[in-house]
């Protein structure tokens, strides 16, 4: 997921542009080197760009699937941490449980943003998105399960009766040993 975030970082100040934009002579005001025939290159221009676009969309689709699978690793990691934390309620286990609950929720909130860099008319993003959501829901379920094993979910009768006041008695009786 960190990788995805790196790509879509917004506040960048400089960038290395690896795509070759030599095909756009208007943007370049320096003369072509000697012996270089621009006309011969221009002939293949359309085929080259199509190839490039295909490669890019392939790459995007691949990346999207990668991003969608990222929560799985997280899930395993969380599971391990929960196992380590034990089943007693204390600071550490609560911290882990709540981070296990919070991470999927925040990830689910930002589903659109995560996949924004891979948005393309040719790239089918529904599959990765669904996988991403499913995995995060799995993480959420794990968190809830952990919460329950810690006894923090009101799923027992005891959670609902522990503050029930005693029943009123209709009759009243007093007395004792005569004074």
Burial environment of residue 12 by CB neighbours within 10 A (0 to 12, 13 to 18, 19 or more): exposed
Contact status: 88 vs other proteins (CB under 8 A): yes
Q: Pick out residues in 144-173 that bind other proteins (CB under 8 A).
A: 151, 154-173
Contact status: 178 vs other proteins (CB under 8 A): yes
Residue tagged 């550490």 (tokens):
92
For other proteins, which residue of 59, 92, 98, 102 counts as binding (CB under 8 A)? 92
Q: Based on CB atoms, which residue is closest to other proteins, 102 or 160?
A: 160
CA atoms within 13 A on the CB side of 177: 0
In sequence order, which ranges of 9-167 are alpha helices (DSSP H)?
38-43, 45-85, 91-109, 111-115, 126-149, 157-161
Question: Stretches 34-42, 86-94, 111-119, 120-128: which one binds other proteins (CB under 8 A)?
Answer: 86-94
Q: Based on CB atoms, which residue is closest to other proteins, 20 or 171?
A: 171
Q: Based on CB atoms, which residue is closest to other proteins, 15 or 161?
A: 161
Contact status: 10 vs other proteins (CB under 8 A): no
At how many degrees (to 10) do helices 91-109 and 126-149 cross? 160
Contact status: 12 vs other proteins (CB under 8 A): no
Contact status: 136 vs other proteins (CB under 8 A): no
Q: How far is the CB of 51 from other proteins (least distance, A)?
A: 42
Phi-psi category of 119—alpha, beta or left, where left has phi over 0 and alpha has psi -120 to 50? beta
Query: Which among 5, 4, 121 is positioned nearest to 66, based on CA atoms?
Result: 4
Contact status: 77 vs other proteins (CB under 8 A): no
Residues at the interface with other proteins (CB under 8 A) = 81, 84-86, 88, 90-93, 151, 154-179
């Amino acid at each position: 997921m960190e990788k995805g975030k790196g790509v879509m970082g917004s506040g960048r100040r400089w960038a290395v542009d690896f795509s070759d934009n030599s095909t756009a002579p208007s943007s370049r005001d320096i003369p072509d080197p000697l012996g270089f025939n621009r006309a011969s290159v221009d002939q293949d221009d359309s085929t080259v760009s199509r190839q490039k676009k295909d490669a890019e969309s392939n790459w995007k689709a691949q990346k999207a699937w990668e991003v969608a699978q990222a929560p799985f690793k997280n899930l395993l990691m969380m599971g391990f941490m929960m196992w380590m934390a034990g089943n007693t309620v204390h600071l550490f286990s609560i911290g882990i449980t709540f981070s296990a609950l919070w991470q999927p929720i925040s990830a689910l909130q930002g589903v659109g943003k995560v996949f924004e860099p891979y948005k393309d008319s040719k790239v089918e993003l529904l599959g990765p998105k669904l996988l991403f959501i499913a995995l995060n829901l799995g993480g959420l379920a794990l968190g809830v399960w952990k919460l329950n094993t810690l006894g923090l979910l009101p799923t027992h009768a005891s959670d609902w009766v522990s503050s029930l006041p005693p029943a009123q008695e209709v009759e009243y009786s007093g007395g004792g040993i005569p004074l």
